Chains A and B, each alone.
Chain A
Amino acid sequence: MADPAEPNSKSGDNRPALALHVPEPRSRPGDPVNFKDVDVGEAGAQPRPDESTKPEDMKDLAYGLVRVLGDDDKAHGPWDPKLDPETLRTMLGHMAMVRAFDERMFRGQRQGKTSFYMKCTGEEATSVSASMALASDDMVFPSYRQQGILIARGYPLIEMINQIYSNKGDKLKGRQLPIMYSSREHSFFSISGNLATQTPQAVGWAMASAIKGDSRIAATWVGEGSTAEGDFHSACTFAAVYNAPVILNVINNQWAISSFSGFAGSERTTFAARALGYGLAGLRVDGNDALACYAAQRWAANRARANQGPTLIEYFTYRAEGHSTSDDPSGYRSAQEREEWPLGDPVMRLKNHLIAIGEWDEDRQAAMDKKCAEEVKATTKEAEKNGILGHGLHHPFHTMFEDVFEELPWHLKEQAAQAAHERETKWPEGRPKQ
């Protein structure tokens, strides 16, 4: 019989039918869940190479999982960053604040105070501890789920809430969808709704820093789903070509809205392993282990700062909540997943670690949680004095036309005049009081 791969064979000539593979997640709503196939390895088992190690000499780190906090809540192995208890408590405090903030803002959206919100529950360590490992003037290019960076960098909560409410206190003048923050003062790049665009931008910023002989580095965050965007490929290529001082952080939280990570290619390899094809250093880290997150980011920062080149870090974590306030995850995944996620909860794990080393206790935790909740509540009240969405305390009409260009061209001047006229027609006596 002829070989079906013979060049002269034709379809129908005894060739086997082809079959398309469409990935399917491990469980759907109502299904029991089993994470036994997820190999999380042992805390402390991964080697920590020198920051100057060549990518090809540390391949195993792109397939394994760097973990520091063990089941005994103690820190293990060479990746233990050996942080002092005060720093650990600060880290825990930031993570608790992020969680309290998310809870309150989510509720605010449900109460109609704003249009939209996105929590980062379960992923607090990937932004808080990673940003603590950077210098405060290293430039970060986040996605929309790294509110922990702003909190860790001391950005005022009231500014965050003003932005979420799009009120008259909003520094972005009500132009941006809630949570698309920007703070140049905190070296926090303006968030865009278009996914992965920030990744080549971070590389460009890092290239600029290198061109100028500066000492600052750049870091960017992107979800595993968005690594499928062309921009991510561009970012990895440019980072490698120019040896840019940049850290490419991939938050693999298993889900891109309703699509499991298999649709970004996770069935065949890890996201960290993509680094190898570009010649980048790749690290795969327990994203719910604040110490491992800190240590990996610090390693990559040291590497970049020493002109040893870029690093791609995959944070293996789990998106514990819905994608956004517009999403209901019970429509596509098993509710049990969150409960059985093998890497637990990042806040609980850090808390238990501090307790295990005798530097914390449940009472202090309860007091801290209460303090966070009260601070967010009080700040929310304060921000509400500036208005909530749709209640009229927004920036003046003419601001809509400003900053499209540095100067207002004639056509925008004409349109601004039209908007002013429409307002006058609508409220001849002036705007009614709310």
Chain B
Amino acid sequence: MSAEAKTEAPAVDTQERRINMIEAINEALDIMLERDDDVIVMGEDVGYFGGVFRCTAGLQEKHGKTRVFDTPISECGIIGVAVGMGAYGLRPVPEIQFADYIYPGLDQLISEAARLRYRSATEYIAPMTVRSPFGGGIFGGQTHSQSPESIFTHVSGLKTVIPATPYDAKGLLISCIEDNDPVIFFEPKRIYNGPFSGYYDKPVEPWKKHKDSVVPEGYYKIPLGKARRVTEGEAVTVLTYGTMVHVAEAVCREKGVDAEILDLRTLVPLDIEAIEASVKKTGRCLIVHEATRTSGFGAELSALVTERCFYHLEAPVERVTGFDTPYPHSLEWAYFPGPVRIGEALDAILKD
């Protein structure tokens, strides 16, 4: 069962130590800096200051200025030098402060990092992990809210990974850093401090109350390409990732829908086995993501489900997504694919 993520957790460490996603990411970086001299952490404000979201706090002091350092404000330069460091034999972990600002580095990611192994027939590789906070729900407006994952899933040679819990964030990030392929690691900043139900007018729950914030202190890995079954159900399969895992879970719970929610965790390579097994069981599929609709990753998921599960489907595959507009500031909660949009889609899928 590829979706059984929990069986991969180490049996030891039952201390019930609970941490948030920022701390989990910080621990993953700390552990990898300790374990592998070739790991380098760099980016805007990540050094002395410890990052605008605190993900790299304390790392420079502990590991030194040549292992963890600040960079000029140049995403093209950050990714470009990371490619060169990878060619040397290092394992860089560059940070792009917001996914909305990754675009100046796109040529280096798409034309260089993604193709280097292929075009050099393995003479050179780009074993880098580009970390970047992404997603909305924080009044970030147009340039602090975007979800550009489908730009990367469309590029041959890149892996795209998105955690939804502190436990996954740590285990997946360690896997990404050890992976010899270039990885885009998008961190849903809306859930850095706590899972988000989609009800923006209710107080935020801290991670401390969530089971997936129990994170082992030491080294552990979660394999790339494997989805996590969040809830087991018979009525409908919900395919989602990032912040929307928690929103979808809250809506299903509230409506009493017997949903099987799959947190995809890795978009490329995708856990097609888990998806197929679930949709063939439930016969219905809802896809939920924050990103805009047209040519979003949901379109790929919808096509795959339709191609591979067509004769098992009892209703059309539905997508709940952001609208095809730039991310608005004041109208954020009208834009965000929240409980109403998800609820109506579930009703439509389940109506007969």
Contacts and interface: CB of A to CB of B under 8 A. Distances in A.
B80 A234 contact: yes
Nearest to A191: B119
Interface stretch (B20-28, B107-115, B200-208, B331-339): B107-115
B107 A197 contact: yes
A190 interface: yes
B81 A238 contact: yes
A230 B84 contact: no
A138 interface: no
Contacts of B83: 197, 200-201, 204
B159 interface: yes
Interface stretch (A118-126, A366-374, A385-393, A405-413): A405-413
Q: Which 9 A-B pairs have the closest CB atoms?
A: A204-B84, A200-B80, A204-B81, A234-B77, A208-B88, A409-B269, A201-B84, A190-B120, A205-B84
Contact of A230 (B72, B76, B90, B112): B76
Nearest to B82: A204
A409 B84 contact: no
A240 B100 CA distance: 27
A141 B120 CA distance: 13
Q: How extensive is the interface on chain A, given as a class?
A: 35 or more
Interface in B21-47: 40
A404 to B, nearest CB: 5
A365 interface: no
A183 interface: yes
B124 interface: yes
B74 A237 contact: yes
B219 interface: no
A238 B71 CA distance: 8
Interface in A211-246: 211-212, 218, 230-231, 233-235, 237-238, 241
Contacts of B67: 211
B299 interface: no
A141 B112 contact: no
A203 B84 contact: yes
A172 interface: yes
A200 B108 contact: yes
B117 interface: yes
A235 B83 CA distance: 12
B224 to A, nearest CB: 10
Interface in A180-215: 180, 182-184, 189-190, 192-194, 197, 199-212
B315 interface: no
Interface in A386-432: 403-406, 409-411
Interface of A: 139, 141, 171-173, 175-176, 180, 182-184, 189-190, 192-194, 197, 199-212, 218, 230-231, 233-235, 237-238, 241, 403-406, 409-411
Interface residues of B, number: 47
A238 B72 contact: yes
Contacts of A208: 40, 84-85, 88-90
Contacts of A241: 71-72
Contact of A192 (B104, B112, B179): B112
A201 B121 contact: no
B37 to A, nearest CB: 8
B88 A205 contact: yes
B343 interface: no
B118 interface: yes
Given A197-B111, A404-B156, A172 B84 contact: no
B28 to A, nearest CB: 21
Contact of A182 (B82, B123, B225): B123
A200 B268 CA distance: 27
A209 B87 CA distance: 11
A194 B74 contact: no
B74 A411 contact: no
Contacts of A212: 88, 90
Nearest to B76: A234
B124 A218 contact: no
Given A200-B76, A204-B83, A204-B87, 12 more contacts: A173-B121, A192-B115, A197-B83, A201-B83, A201-B84, A204-B80, A205-B88, A207-B81, A208-B85, A211-B85, A231-B77, A238-B80
Nearest to A214: B88
A52 B285 CA distance: 67
A201 B80 contact: yes
Interface in B258-316: 268-270, 272
Contact of B116 (A171, A180, A190, A211): A190
20 contacts: A172-B120, A175-B119, A182-B121, A184-B120, A193-B111, A194-B112, A200-B108, A201-B87, A202-B84, A204-B80, A204-B87, A208-B40, A208-B88, A211-B85, A212-B88, A234-B72, A234-B80, A235-B80, A238-B80, A405-B117
A144 to B, nearest CB: 13
